[in-house]
Chain A
Amino acid sequence: MAESIMKILFRPDEFFEEHAGKEPALGLPFGIVLIYAALSAILGYQMTVLMAPMYASIAEGYEGIIIFFGAAGGFVSAIIFWIIASVIFYLLSMIFKGEGSMKKVLEAVGYGIAPLIASVGIAIIWLSMIADQIITPVIRDFMDPAAVDTALEAFMAQPAMAEYTLLQTVLSIVFMIWAANIWYSGMRYARKLTARDAAYTVFIPVGLYLIITIISVGVL
């Protein structure tokens, strides 16, 4: 399994070429997605714990529930990300008359998520290191949108939080490019596409995603 993972990360073309004729096996890809989802849940838990005091005035006694939803949100969003990315790639590859099954696409996209695990892992470690430096303002009046905005802005603008946001964004971009490299190879063999068609299928949506990410960070 370790050899497969290394091959996926550093020799994706070879890996997917070898698996092109085989029946789709979702075991390992699903395992990768599960690890990614579990780490996303931990990251969601960390962020919710940090932000819980912000909601103390209206949710006193319900911190546990809020934190649970934070963690569950992280987990579910990772699974949804896998499915949505697969659907987008599948639909785009249909333009280029791709032939493989959706299951094969799910397998390829699942493998491609492997680099993102590193991105989330580093973010978890970094957030753990700076947690005690983060000050959480308390929102006393949730009926006042300006007060909510001010508190959120103060929370995000503090140096430790701003640095974390920047790091997470840069890492997600860098590792997303690595993931896109894997998806490119995966889609090429999963849907029997030419190199050019596979590049269009993967790099256009990923490129849009990265542009939106960069713009949103710039706006923040």
Chain B
Amino acid sequence: MRIYLILLVLLAALVSTGVAAEASAQVTVTGISLDPEVFMPWDTGTLQLTVQNTGTLPISISAVRLTGQQNVEVLTSPHTGSGALGAGNSMTFTYTIRVRGEEGIFYPRFSMNFMGGGSLSEPILLRVDRRPLDAAISSRPDIFMEGRKDTVVVSLGNPRMNSISSVSVVPVTGVADVVPTTIFIGSLAPGESRDASFSVTPTGTGDLTFNVEYRNGQNTHSVPLTIPITPGTAKKAADPIVSNIEVTSVPGGYRITGDVSNAGLESARSVVMTTSSPATPIDPFRVYVVGTLDPDDFSSFEVTFAASDAEEIPLLIRYRDDDGNLYEETVMATIRSGLQPVQEHEGGLSPMMIGIILLSVVIVAGAIIYSRKKKR
């Protein structure tokens, strides 16, 4: 009898062990999800696994565990493992992990133990790639000019195997007005590239930094791009040259005539000539509008002004570039020694003219009277 009892217990144990082993074989990992798909060193992310009981009997789980490696650290493991998985049911396990500084391919291991024996063990493929977003200045002027608006283009490319999100470019500087103040690109798929264009108007000398910010999963990264702003004279800018200057006197002032030529490689638009203090512009040519001067083009001009006790007066040339930026240049014009404004006759005739008229009238009248008198 005692022997029977022992044999019965052994048989029961054998049967239960066989059932557990069979059940574990029917639990499989059906889905693995990593966010981000490819980590960068020191990134934090999530690992999500889905297991499904494809058998016909429920199974009790005794333990669930994600085992990290030297380069993969499991930060939170919310699942203790106790519970049951019904037949045909699925269960999802989520872990927060962080990779360390090495890059390469790693295999943290997910394992599951069942009541009564049996287990499931699954290595998880995890890639760590340190290549950041490619960012570069693809277009910029050779030389910035203070007050002149130029375009700077930042090119962005994604060399990684996974998409990156929330890509934005933020200019940071205290020496230029940059428009727009930020450009949001959004997501960049693997191999995709985009451009971000900024209008930069320098106000001083210093650095202009474009901070390219993006997210790999929930991790924020940034790539700074810095270009120096050193205002100078643009090589292709319009360059008005004034020549053939001639100063002559007119009633009440002086007149400057001359030629203005564009010796630059870009058009000078809305070219306007005038004079400034100590000269006072007077009619009829207070301002002379030349208009557009294309490269190597020239135009004659004339301005009239009044000035007293001045040997040199500034001749102003105002013009704009294609973007509407206003420029002003000054050329000094010398008033010839001894040149005096022609006296204005305020509403009257000059004495010389009156004399000529009177003399003519007297001569003609005398001639007519004389001719008639002689006749008699």
Dominant SS at the B interface?
A: mixed
CB pair A166–B284 under 8 Å, yes or no, is: no
Counting CB contacts under 8 A, is A101 at the interface?
A: no
Select which of B251, B302, B356, B375 is within 8 A of A159 by beta carbon.
Answer: B251
| B342, closest chain A residue (CB) | A133
Determine the distance from Cα of A177 to Cα of B360 in the docked complex, in whole angstroms.
11
| A57, closest chain B residue (CB) | B299
CB pair B368–A177 under 8 Å, yes or no, is: yes
Determine the distance from Cα of A132 to Cα of B344 in the docked complex, in whole angstroms.
15
What residues on B are CB-neighbors of A102 within 8 Å? none
From residue 165 to 193 of chain A, which have CB atoms closer than 8 A to chain B? 166-167, 170-171, 174-175, 177-178, 181, 185
Q: Give, as a whole number of angstroms, the nearest-CB distance from B150 to chain A.
A: 32
Q: A158-B284, A163-B349 are in contact. Are A175 and B360 (CB under 8 A)?
A: yes
Determine the distance from Cα of A10 to Cα of B364 in the docked complex, in whole angstroms.
10
Determine the distance from Cα of A159 to Cα of B249 in the docked complex, in whole angstroms.
13
Counting CB contacts under 8 A, is A29 at the interface?
A: no
Determine the distance from Cα of A113 to Cα of B291 in the docked complex, in whole angstroms.
50
Determine the distance from Cα of A9 to Cα of B291 in the docked complex, in whole angstroms.
57
CB pair B250–A135 under 8 Å, yes or no, is: yes
CB pair B364–A175 under 8 Å, yes or no, is: yes
CB pair A133–B249 under 8 Å, yes or no, is: yes
| B255, closest chain A residue (CB) | A135
Determine the distance from Cα of A56 to Cα of B300 in the docked complex, in whole angstroms.
10
Count residues of B near A (Cβ-Cβ below 8 Å): 28
Per-residue contact bits, chain A 47-61, to B (CB 8 Å; 1 contact, 0 not): 000000100100000
What residues on B are CB-neighbors of A115 within 8 Å? 364, 367
| A157, closest chain B residue (CB) | B284
CB pair A135–B304 under 8 Å, yes or no, is: yes
CB pair A181–B357 under 8 Å, yes or no, is: no
Q: Give, as a whole number of angstroms, the nearest-CB distance from B106 to chain A.
A: 77
CB pair B284–A171 under 8 Å, yes or no, is: no
What residues on A are CB-neighbors of B342 within 8 Å? 133, 160
Q: Give, as a whole number of angstroms, the nearest-CB distance from A211 to chain B.
A: 18
What residues on A are CB-neighbors of B371 within 8 Å? 10-13, 181, 185
Counting CB contacts under 8 A, is B248 at the interface?
A: yes
Select which of A9, A126, A138, A167 is within 8 A of B367 by beta carbon.
Answer: A9
From residue 112 to 157 of chain A, which have CB atoms closer than 8 A to chain B? 115, 118, 122, 126, 132-133, 135, 137-138, 140, 154
Q: Give, as a whole number of angstroms, the nearest-CB distance from A63 to chain B.
A: 13
What residues on A are CB-neighbors of B304 within 8 Å? 135
Determine the distance from Cα of A14 to Cα of B374 in the docked complex, in whole angstroms.
9
Determine the distance from Cα of A213 to Cα of B135 in the docked complex, in whole angstroms.
82
Counting CB contacts under 8 A, is B370 at the interface?
A: yes
CB pair B360–A122 under 8 Å, yes or no, is: yes
What residues on A are CB-neighbors of B111 within 8 Å? none
CB pair B361–A174 under 8 Å, yes or no, is: yes
Q: Give, as a whole number of angstroms, the nearest-CB distance from B4 to chain A.
A: 126
CB pair A166–B364 under 8 Å, yes or no, is: no
Q: A13-B371, A177-B368 are in contact. Are A135 and B302 (CB under 8 A)?
A: yes
What residues on A are CB-neighbors of B361 within 8 Å? 174
What residues on B are CB-neighbors of A13 within 8 Å? 371, 374-375
Determine the distance from Cα of A126 to Cα of B349 in the docked complex, in whole angstroms.
14
| B347, closest chain A residue (CB) | A159
What residues on B are CB-neighbors of A154 within 8 Å? 284
| A122, closest chain B residue (CB) | B356
CB pair A160–B360 under 8 Å, yes or no, is: no
| B285, closest chain A residue (CB) | A135
CB pair B370–A10 under 8 Å, yes or no, is: yes
CB pair A174–B364 under 8 Å, yes or no, is: yes
Q: Give, as a whole number of angstroms, the nearest-CB distance from A118 to chain B.
A: 8
| B350, closest chain A residue (CB) | A163
| A164, closest chain B residue (CB) | B353
Counting CB contacts under 8 A, is B2 at the interface?
A: no
What residues on A are CB-neighbors of B349 within 8 Å? 163, 166
Determine the distance from Cα of A154 to Cα of B251 in the docked complex, in whole angstroms.
14
CB pair B367–A178 under 8 Å, yes or no, is: yes
What residues on B are CB-neighbors of A177 within 8 Å? 364, 368
CB pair B302–A163 under 8 Å, yes or no, is: no
What residues on B are CB-neighbors of A159 within 8 Å? 251, 344-345
15 residue pairs bridging A and B, Cβ less than 8 Å apart:
A9-B367, A11-B374, A11-B375, A14-B374, A132-B248, A135-B255, A135-B284, A135-B304, A159-B344, A160-B251, A163-B345, A171-B357, A171-B360, A174-B360, A181-B371
Supplied contacts A13-B374, A170-B360, A178-B367, 8 more A-B pairs, CB within 8 Å:
A12-B371, A14-B375, A118-B360, A132-B249, A133-B249, A159-B344, A160-B251, A171-B360
Q: Which residues of A contact B (CB under 8 A)?
A: 9-14, 53, 56, 115, 118, 122, 126, 132-133, 135, 137-138, 140, 154, 158-160, 163, 166-167, 170-171, 174-175, 177-178, 181, 185
The 6 closest A-B pairs by CB, nearest first: A178-B364, A13-B375, A159-B251, A181-B368, A174-B360, A174-B364
